[in-house]
Amino acid sequence: MEEVRTQVAIVGAGPAGLLLGHLLERAGVANVVLEHRSREYVEQRVRAGVIEYGVVNFLEEVGAGERLRREGLTHHGVELRFDHTTHRVALSDLADGKTITVYGQQELVKDLIALRLALGAPTRFEHEVVALEDLTGTTPVVRAKGPEGELRVECEFVAGCDGSFGVATRSIPGSTLRRHERTYPFAWLGILAEAAPTTEELIYARHERGFALYSMRSPTVSRLYLGVEPSETLEAWPDDRIWEELNLRLATESSPNVNEGPIMERSITAMRSVVCEPMRYGRLLVAGDAAHIVPPTGAKGMNLALGDIRVLARALVAQIREGDNRLLEAYSATCLERVWRAEEFSNYMTQMLHPSNDDFENGVQHARLRQVVASREAATVLARNYCDLNGL
């Protein structure tokens, strides 16, 4: 068995774990990243696409936003479509000039991995963490299995950045952990297609047949989503059916069709809201999807994960370098305040845009949508939350 020592053992090389590693490296705090999957796998995993205003600025400030600034697509508005009519929400006019940036999550992951490897920071891909031990002692231990056998990492702190199915939250005893959860009666079928985006801005559409979202990745690649039953399978959705349904749900009189093209990637994701409290147990700190999940309708998951890391990195550096434990003591409460605001916004967007079998609920959804397009105050709340809920 191989044994290593470090200051912070980071479980997971998603956006959260990689950004934490980067910030600790910059502050001179030794760390090791342990990732179950291969580098190729995490660099190709297609997921989020919208990065908030403050998060983009923060990434740039810490030297991780160079390609993001160059290649990311800055958006000043989004469209809300319902009752076959489209309404623009002028995000930057309503949110004090703030914008959002469309940039694939895997592109940010690639950038952070490249920065890490350039510094020679220890990164173990294909290492599955199987146990976290002695979390309430002074020297916690992380046990992992890699291609060459077992690895034992002794550290001062463990950062659980291992996503929603990881080992970190499971290591917190049931008597300490409170889990708040809601499952929604729909899922999203997402595709990535080689097709020039039909519009310049994102479109969130509520149609009687279900939700649809038009997004993009570049001038030649579109990213689209359809709300489907949680029991749906990809086999039931051949390409023709996907395009037909997207055209039905997104059509308006002035733009009846979306641009079609070969589908490069497709997946179905269930929609859930989860909050785990507290986000700390002894010397284990959990961050990102490991601690909370939001349904994707508000585009908040990755932004929240990166927001947690900003708080966590400062807290760990203060503790390790200056022996100051105040930020670490406050870590969970500081994050949860923002996490619940993101849960509220994601729940609001989800419930407003996914038609229901319940007529009363549908009436409420219409009233909410009409309020957003009729009231500058309502649109302002939406725009501020959408552009910069994390306020980094």
When the beta carbons of 37 and 368 are compared against ligand FAD, the nearer one is 37
296 is catalytic: yes
Catalytic residue among 22, 36, 53, 75: 75
When the beta carbons of 204 and 243 are compared against ligand FAD, the nearer one is 204
> Which of ligand FAD, ligand DHB, none does residue 355 bind (CB under 5 to 8 Å by kind)?
none
Instruction: Tell which one of 10, 29, 48, 263 touches ligand DHB (CB under 6 A).
Output: 48
- Note whether 385 binds ligand DHB by CB under 6 A: no
Half-sphere exposure (Cβ direction) of 297: Cα atoms closer than 13 Å: 29
When the beta carbons of 296 and 355 are compared against ligand FAD, the nearer one is 296
> Which of ligand DHB, ligand FAD, none does residue 64 bind (CB under 5 to 8 Å by kind)?
none
> Tokens 């039931």 — which residue?
236
- Note whether 12 binds ligand FAD by CB under 6 A: yes
- Note whether 307 binds ligand FAD by CB under 6 A: no
- Note whether 223 binds ligand DHB by CB under 6 A: yes
When the beta carbons of 50 and 95 are compared against ligand DHB, the nearer one is 50
How many degrees, rounded to 5, is the angle at CA 382 between CA 313 and CA 365?
125
Instruction: Tell which one of 10, 11, 216, 328 touches ligand FAD (CB under 6 A).
Output: 11
75 is catalytic: yes
Pairing of the two strands 221-228 and 210-218: antiparallel
Instruction: Tell which one of 21, 65, 301, 355 touches ligand FAD (CB under 6 A).
Output: 301
> Which of ligand FAD, ligand DHB, none does residue 223 bind (CB under 5 to 8 Å by kind)?
ligand DHB
Instruction: Tell which one of 303, 332, 365, 390 touches ligand FAD (CB under 6 A).
Output: 303
> Which of ligand FAD, ligand DHB, none does residue 291 bind (CB under 5 to 8 Å by kind)?
none
Judge contact between 326 and 318, C-beta under 8 A. yes
Instruction: Tell which one of 8, 10, 50, 132 touches ligand DHB (CB under 6 A).
Output: 50
Q: Distance between CA 212 and CA 189 in Å, rounded? A: 9
Amino acid identity of 283?
Answer: R
3-state DSSP of the chain: CEEEECCEEEECCCHHHHHHHHHHHHCCCCEEEECCCCHHHHHHCCCCCEECHHHHHHHHHCCCCHHHHHHCEEECCEEEEECCEEEEECHHHHCCCCCEEECCHHHHHHHHHHHHHHCCCCEECCCEEEEEECCCCCCCEEEEEECCEEEEEECCEEEECCCCCCCCHHHCCCCCCEEEEEEEEEEEEEEEECCCCCCCCEEEEEECCEEEEEEEEECCEEEEEEEECCCCCHHHCCHHHHHHHHHHHHCCCCCCCCCCCCEEEEEEEEEEEEEEECCEECCEEECHHHCEECCHHHCCHHHHHHHHHHHHHHHHHHHHHHCCCHHHHHHHHHHHHHHHHHHHHHHHHHHHHCCCCCHHHHHHHHHHHHHHHHCHHHHHHHHHHHHHCCCC
Q: Report in angstroms how near the CB of residue 241 gets to ligand DHB at its nearest.
A: 21
- Note whether 21 binds ligand FAD by CB under 6 A: no
386 is catalytic: yes
Instruction: Tell which one of 48, 56, 153, 216 touches ligand FAD (CB under 6 A).
Output: 48
Contact characters 275-314, ligand DHB, x per CB under 6 A: ---------------------xx-x---------------
Q: Restricting to residues 100-139, which ones interact with ligand DHB according to CB under 6 A?
A: 102
- Note whether 269 binds ligand FAD by CB under 6 A: yes
- Note whether 166 binds ligand FAD by CB under 6 A: yes
Q: Distance between CA 297 and CA 235 in Å, rounded? A: 24
Catalytic residue among 207, 300, 331, 355: 300
Active site residues: 75, 204, 296, 300, 386
Q: What residue ranges bind ligand FAD (CB under 6 A)?
A: 11-17, 34-37, 42, 47-50, 105, 128-129, 161-163, 166-167, 188, 190, 269, 288-289, 296, 299-303, 305
Q: What residue ranges bind ligand DHB (CB under 6 A)?
A: 48-50, 102, 202, 213, 215, 223, 296-297, 299
